[in-house]
Amino acid sequence: MRLRCSFAIAALVMAAPALGSAWAGQDPPKVSPYVAPPDVAAPPADSEKTASGLASKVVTPGTDTIHPKAADRVTVHYTGWTTDGKMFDSSLARQKPAVFGVNGVIAGFSEGLQLMVVGEKRRLWIPQALAYKGQPGKPAGTLVFDVELLEITPAPEMPAVPPDVDRPPVDADRRPSGLAAKVIRPGTGTAHPRASSTVTVHYSGWTTDGRMFDSSVMRGQSISFPLTEVIAGWTEGVQLMVVGEKRRLWIPQSLAYKGQPGMPAGMLVFDIELVAIK
């Protein structure tokens, strides 16, 4: 997601790999064969079944007691098969664990992960209704995954709504353009970005009623972009900053999205931390 003048507001959902799609439309890489489980065709009698239709069985017990939550990120190794024993995806084949948000994958995988603890290996039988629901190019029917949970990264705490989100305070710096700004934390640098600079930032944005509509902090990843490609209030406001500084901007609609359909309307409030200037 880039903060262009016409960007679509993120839904505050971490990006995640599309499980089962790594080799869609092509043969899997030439790797040592991963033998399908003996019970790949159907869950055994001793499997655990949930109300949603997911079945699972612990293959190797874990070493912890904490379960991932839907908003957390996880690091896993996994292999997936269709019920005829055909492997369609494997992080083991790529020799690299997968990292993604628990709520950013198919429903059955997300539900199954939340049953697990670190160190555990679990087999999931995911019915089509909790998998790809017949989407073209995706594996069909019940899918079987062996999943090993390696690490849980808790979701970041949601930034607090600024106490002055409804209007700029009296000590804000008011610019001729209509932009208002206030330093929340002084920076450590001395150089300011130019309008032509590319910057790396962390930010959160609210409407004046306190509704957060976007946040790199919640995604756990800073973002880089040229200042020529963002709304005018950002272009002006970020040029006031130095590296390490955190600043609050009150951006009037005329310097934001100007009533564009699908964009947040009215004055917008951003807390921005300038991480780097490129």
Span 64-78, pLDDT tens digits: 999 999 888 899 999
pTM (two decimals): 0.58
Q: Is residue 15 part of a domain?
A: no
88 is catalytic: yes
Question: Of 106, 152, 231, 251, which residue is the catalytic one?
Answer: 106
Question: Is there a single domain that holds both residue 109 and residue 202?
Answer: no
Residue with tokens 């997968």: 98
Q: Is residue 24 part of a domain?
A: no
Question: Is there a single domain that holds both residue 115 and residue 187?
Answer: no
Mean of all residue pLDDT scores within the chain: 88
* Region of poorest pLDDT, from 79-83, 136-140, 170-174: 136-140
Question: Is there a single domain that holds both residue 231 and residue 136?
Answer: no
Full residue range of the structural domain in which residue 211 is found: 173-277
- Token pair of 22 as six digits: 């790594």
**Residue with the larger pLDDT of the pair 55 and 20:** 55
At 19, is the pLDDT very low, low, confident or very high (cuts 50, 70, 90)?
Answer: low
Question: Of 88, 109, 225, 270, which residue is the catalytic one?
Answer: 88
Q: Is residue 27 part of a domain?
A: no
Q: Is a pLDDT exceeding 80 seen at residue 201?
A: yes
Q: Which of 122, 153, 184 is the last residue of a domain?
A: 153
145 is catalytic: yes
Residue pair 249/232 in contact (Cβ under 8 Å)? The answer is no
Q: Is residue 129 part of a domain?
A: yes
Q: How many CA atoms lie within 13 A of 120 on its CB side?
A: 22
Helices (H), strands (E): how many in the chain?
4, 14
- Nearest residue to 131 (alpha-carbon basis) of 112, 158, 118, 114: 112
Chain segment 46-103, per-residue pLDDT in tens:
999 999 999 999 999 999 999 999 888 899 999 999 999 999 999 999 899 999 889 8
Q: Which of 101, 121, 153 is the last residue of a domain?
A: 153
106 is catalytic: yes
- Nearest residue to 144 (alpha-carbon basis) of 160, 159, 128: 128
Chain segment 115-125, per-residue pLDDT in tens:
999 999 999 99
Q: Is residue 265 part of a domain?
A: yes
251 is catalytic: no
Q: Is a pLDDT exceeding 90 seen at residue 277?
A: yes
Q: Is residue 99 part of a domain?
A: yes
Q: Which of 90, 125, 153 is the last residue of a domain?
A: 153
Question: Is there a single domain that holds both residue 143 and residue 185?
Answer: no
Question: Of 100, 109, 145, 225, which residue is the catalytic one?
Answer: 145
CA distance linking residue 30 with residue 4, whole number of Å: 41
72 is catalytic: no
Q: Is residue 60 part of a domain?
A: yes
Chain segment 220-260, per-residue pLDDT in tens:
789 999 999 999 999 999 999 999 999 999 999 999 999 99
CATH code assigned at 237: 3.10.50.40
pLDDT value of position 166? 96
Question: Is there a single domain that holds both residue 148 and residue 181?
Answer: no
Question: Of 72, 78, 203, 272, which residue is the catalytic one?
Answer: 78
Residue with tokens 């839907």: 70
